[in-house]
């Protein structure tokens, strides 16, 4: 597990939860934007938006989606195969600094974008020193 105290999403390469067979880990980018919002970008090519399932349970964010298609039957010979469309699964451990109730997700052109705002309690607060 990669831990970074500055940023708020931890990546678990072992993907702790059993994703079942035949699932692919989507490629992701994770960055913090200028407003301190953590943004996750995941590639889910071929997936339809209604097949995407995003959950947060016990501090673990899971993304699963179905990218399978049955457009071309056996009458098509596979001359060259560079990618396979299957099910996607990946899990991430969230830090306590993420406001779990305010995670926002959008899906366009095969790209899932998750915005994870920082919880109010995790924001920097200046503490005034009272006059003695």
Partner 1 sequence: MSGSRQIGGGTYPPVNVLNGQTELVVECEIAGLKREDVDLTITGETLQIKGAKSPLTSDEVRYQCRERGMGDFNRTIVLPDRVDTDRISASLANGILTVRLPKAEASLPKHIEVK
String of DSSP letters for 27-76 = PEEEEE-TTS-EEEEEE-TT--GGG-EEEEETTEEEEEEE-----S-TTS
Q: Is 31 in the site for partner 1 (CB under 8 A)?
A: yes
Nearer to partner 1, 82 or 132 (CB): 82
Which residues are within 8 A (CB) of 124 and not within 5 positions of it... i.e. 6 or more apart?
Answer: none
- Residue from 5, 70, 77, 125 that binds partner 1 (CB under 8 A)? 77
Nearer to partner 1, 76 or 126 (CB): 76
- Residue from 89, 97, 98, 117 that binds partner 1 (CB under 8 A)? 89
Q: Is 79 in the site for partner 1 (CB under 8 A)?
A: yes
């Amino acid at each position: 597990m990669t831990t970074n105290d500055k940023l708020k999403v931890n990546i678990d390469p072992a993907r702790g939860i059993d994703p079942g067979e035949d699932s692919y880990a989507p490629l992701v980018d994770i960055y913090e934007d200028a407003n301190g919002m953590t943004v996750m970008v995941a590639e889910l090519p071929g997936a339809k938006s209604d097949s995407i399932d995003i959950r947060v349970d016990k501090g673990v964010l899971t993304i699963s989606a179905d990218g399978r298609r049955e457009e071309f039957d056996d009458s098509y010979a596979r001359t060259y195969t560079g990618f396979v469309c299957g099910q996607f699964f990946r899990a991430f451990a969230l830090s306590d600094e993420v406001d779990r109730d305010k995670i926002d997700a959008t899906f366009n052109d095969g790209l899932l974008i998750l915005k994870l705002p920082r919880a109010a309690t995790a924001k920097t607060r200046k503490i005034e020193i009272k006059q003695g």
